[in-house]
Amino acid sequence: MSPVSIKDIAQAAGVSHSTVSRALSDSPLVKAETKARIQRLAHEMGYSPDARARSLVMGQTRTVGVVVTSIADPFIASVVQAIESAAHDQGYAVILCSSNSAPEREIAAVEMLQSKRVDGVIVASSRIGALYQEHLERLSVPIVLINSHSKYSEHYTYAVSVDNRQGGYLATAHLAQLGHRRIAYVARPSDHSSNLERQEGYRQALTGAGLPYAPSLVTPCSGRVESGAQVLPQLLALPEPPSAVFCYNDLTAIGLLHAAREAGLTLPGDLAVVGFDDIPLASYVCPPLTTVAQPHGEMGRQAVQMTLALKQARDEQFSNIVLAGQLIIRESSGVGSRE
Amino acid sequence: MSPVSIKDIAQAAGVSHSTVSRALSDSPLVKAETKARIQRLAHEMGYSPDARARSLVMGQTRTVGVVVTSIADPFIASVVQAIESAAHDQGYAVILCSSNSAPEREIAAVEMLQSKRVDGVIVASSRIGALYQEHLERLSVPIVLINSHSKYSEHYTYAVSVDNRQGGYLATAHLAQLGHRRIAYVARPSDHSSNLERQEGYRQALTGAGLPYAPSLVTPCSGRVESGAQVLPQLLALPEPPSAVFCYNDLTAIGLLHAAREAGLTLPGDLAVVGFDDIPLASYVCPPLTTVAQPHGEMGRQAVQMTLALKQARDEQFSNIVLAGQLIIRESSGVGSRE
DNA sequence: TTGTAAGCGTTATCAG
DNA sequence: CTGATAACGCTTACAA
C-alpha cells in the first residue's frame, strides 16, 4: 500500500487536508489542541511528508548534485565527505554522479540533475570539456567548480580551489632548497586547469632557484596510481635523470615511490618525491610522502556554502574562493639526506 | 525564469499539453509529423522533463539511497563507485548519505530518503543498531545490506556480503601455515556482524591448525588507520606477544604496519600482518599488504541488481548473496621469511 | 489523431 | 481558526 498522505490524516482527524498541512508545519493558525491531535495522529500513522510534492510547490528540492570523476579517488572522496556533511547540516541531500571522465556520462549526469531539479551543482571533475561546459551553462542553477577554472566562465559559475600555483611553487622550492638541480614534474594532460597552475608554480620555483625549466622533465600521466609507476622508466631513461620529482597528485607519487623501490632505488637518496593532495594514506606509504595538503574539508564546506549563497542571491557578485595549500614535509623528500 | 514546461511547448506548438506529453514519450498515438515538430521544438526550447512531477504520477523516482558510514573509507568508496555505476546503467540516480556512524545521522538519513521516496536503499554501514533497524523497517521499500546481516531480518531486507567467515579463515590459516603459533586478531566492536564472522573464521582456522584460541590475542579497535597504530603497544605488552596479526580491515593493518616500522620492528620477520578488503593502495604500502580481497565491484553491482529486482517482485523470495573473498598474498605476511 | 479532465501530494490564497 | 480551491508539471483514461 502507498504511504499515508496528508489526506489520510485529514480523514482520520475529521478535518480538511489544509488544516493538516498547517498543523504539521506548526502554523500558529491552528488551534493548539487540534494541532497536537493531528501531530500525534501523523506520528501514529507513520506519516512521512512527500518531498517531491512539496518541492513542486515550494520551488526548491533541497538537493544538490555532485559530479566527480571517480569517488574512488581518495582526495575526491575526502571532499565529497565534507560536501555531504555540510549539505546535511543545511538540510540538503546530495545526489552523487561519478563520470569516470567519460564525457557522455558527464553530460548524462548534468541532464539527470537538471531533471531532478537540484538546487545547485558542485563539480569536482577537473577537466571541463567545451561540450560539457555548454550543458552546464544551460542549467539554470548555481554551479560551483572545485579546483577547476572554466575559461568561458559565466556569470553563474564560480569556483573554489586550492592555490594550485602556490602549491606547485612550495613543492618545487622545497626540493630546490634541498639541493636538487634536476627536478621533474609528472603532470596531467594539459587541459586540466589545476595541472597548468601547478606546473606554473613549478616553473616559477625553478626560475626562482636559478634552475632552468626543461620541458623534457615534464611527463604527462593519467593521475592514477599505476601511471605513476609507469612514469619511472621514462624518467630514468633521460640523458640526465632527475634527482627529484614533483607529482601532480599523491596517487601518482605513490605509484612512483613504489616503482622506485622495486627498481632498487634508495629513497629519498636516489630520488626525492613530493606529491599533492595529502590523501589520508600519504603518511603511511614508505617513505612517508611529502606533499602539498589541500584543505579538503574547507573546500567541501565552502563549495556547499557558496552554492547555497548563490541560490539565495542570484544577482549579487561573488568572488571565486582560493584557499592556501600547505607543504607537509615527510621523508620522501629526503629530510637530511642531502645536507 | 522558471524552466520550460510541457505547457509552454504546447502553446508554442499550438497543441494541447497532453499531445506534447505523448509526443515526448514517443507515443504511437501522435501523428508522425506533429511528433517530429514537437520534439524539435522541445529541443530548441531547451526542455528538460521535471522528474519530480513525473515521479509523482508514475509512482517511482528512479532513485536509490545509499547509506554509508564514511565515503572516505577506501573500501566503501570502491563499493559506492560500483553502485553508482550500476545504478546509472539502469537509469537510476544515487542519493548519498554518510553517517559517520552517528546513530542520529543514520536515522535522519533514512527519514530523508523516505521523504524523497527513493525506490530502494542500500546500506553499507556495518553496524545496524536496533533503533536504526526499526526506522529501516518502516521504510516500505527494498533494503539491501552490504556486509551486514540483520538479526531481526524481515521479509523485505536482504544482504549481499563477502563470505566473512571464510575470509577470516583464509587469512588465519595462511599465517598458521607459515609457521606462526601466536596469531592475534584486531577486531571491531562486536556488534558488527561482519566482525563476528571474520573472528569466527579466525577461531576455526586456529583450531584447524591445532592452535589454542586465546581471548587475550583479540583486541578491538575503531577500524580506522590511527587505531591500527594504537593497537601495537598493547600487543607487544602481552606476556607472549604474537608473531602475526590478522586485522579486521586494511586500514587497521596499514596503521599497524606503520607503527611497527616506526617501533623498529622488521617486517614481516618480527611481525606478519594480514588485512581484509584489498583497498586500492594495499599493494603500495610497505611491505605490500597481504589481504583478503572483497569483490567490491561485484558487491556493488549485485546490491543494485537485488534492490531493483526486489522492487519489481515484492512477493518473491530471494536469497541473500554471499560472495567469496580471495586471499592475496603479498610481502607483509612474510613470504619465505620463515622457511 | 487530438483535447479535456482527473489525479499524484503538497502549499498557499482567499473566503468564511 | 478552518475549509474550499487553485497551483506546481506531469501521465493517463476517457471523449471526441
Lowest mean pLDDT among A74-83, A265-274, A298-307, B151-160: B151-160
SS (H, E, C) A96-132: EEECCCCHHHHHHHHHHHHHCCCCEEEEECCCCCHHH
As given in the structure block, the three cell numbers for residue A301 are 564546506
The residue with greater pLDDT, A318 or A245, is: A245
Residue B131, pLDDT > 70, answer no
Residue B83, pLDDT > 90, answer yes
Q: For strand A183-187 and strand A244-247, is the pairing parallel, antiparallel, or unpaired?
A: parallel
Strands (E), B99-220: 120-124, 143-146, 157-162, 183-187, 218-220
| pLDDT level of residue A223 (50, 70, 90 thresholds) | confident
What residues approach strand D to within 7 A at the CB?
A 14-19, 22, 28-32, 34-35, 53, 56-57; B 2-3, 5-7, 17-18, 21-22, 24-25, 47, 49-50, 53-54, 56-58
Query: What pLDDT was estimated at residue B51?
Result: 98
| Distance CA A5 to C1' C11 in A | 14
Query: What pLDDT was estimated at residue A249?
Result: 96
Q: Which of B85, B96, B254 is the best mutation test for A, with the most CBs of A within 10 A? A: B96
Residue A275, pLDDT > 90, answer yes
Residue B336, pLDDT > 60, answer no
Mean pLDDT of A235-253: 96
Amino acid at B283: S
Shortest Cα distance from B207 to chain A (angstroms)?
34
Q: What percent of chain A has pLDDT over 70?
A: 93
> How buried is residue A151: exposed, middle or buried, by Cβ count under 10 Å (0-12/13-18/19+)?
exposed
Taking only the tens place, the pLDDT of each residue in B279-296 is 999 999 989 999 999 999
Mean pLDDT of B65-82: 97
Residue A1, pLDDT > 80, answer no
The residue with greater pLDDT, B190 or B329, is: B329
The position carrying cell 508545519 is A25
Q: What's chain A's average pLDDT?
A: 92
- Enumerate residues 176 to 205 of chain B having a beta carbon within 8 A of any beta carbon in chain A: none
Mean pLDDT of A21-42: 95
Query: What pLDDT was estimated at residue A63?
Result: 98
As given in the structure block, the three cell numbers for residue B154 are 524481515
What residues of chain A lie within 8 A of the CB of B5, using their CB? none
Contact A71 B84 (CB under 8 A): yes
Query: What pLDDT was estimated at residue B1?
Result: 66
Q: What does DSSP assign to residue B214?
A: -
Mean pLDDT of B236-253: 96
Residue B339, pLDDT > 90, answer no
Lowest mean pLDDT among A20-24, A152-156, B213-217: A152-156
What residues of chain A lie within 8 A of the CB of B56, using their CB? 50, 52-53, 56
Q: Does B255 touch chain A (CB under 8 A)?
A: yes
Lowest mean pLDDT among A224-233, B162-171, B297-306: A224-233
Query: What pLDDT was estimated at residue B150?
Result: 64
Taking only the tens place, the pLDDT of each residue in A58-75 is 999 999 999 999 999 999
Lowest mean pLDDT among A48-62, A199-213, B176-190: B176-190
Q: Are the C-beta atoms of residues A162 and A324 closer than 8 Å to each other?
A: yes
Lowest mean pLDDT among A31-45, A172-186, A322-336: A322-336
Mean pLDDT of B308-335: 89
Q: Does B55 touch chain A (CB under 8 A)?
A: yes
What residues of chain B lie within 8 A of the CB of A111, using their CB? 48
Contact A284 B93 (CB under 8 A): no
Residue A130, pLDDT > 80, answer no
As given in the structure block, the three cell numbers for residue B65 are 539511497
Taking only the tens place, the pLDDT of each residue in A149-200 is 765 555 567 899 999 999 999 999 999 999 999 999 999 986 788 999 999 9
| Distance CA A323 to C1' D11 in A | 48
Q: Report phi then psi at A47, rounded to 5.
A: -70, 135
Contact A84 B98 (CB under 8 A): yes
Query: What pLDDT was estimated at residue B181?
Result: 96
The position carrying cell 620463515 is B338
| Distance CA B33 to C1' C6 in A | 28
What residues of chain A lie within 8 A of the CB of B50, using their CB? 56, 115, 117
Mean pLDDT of B152-168: 82
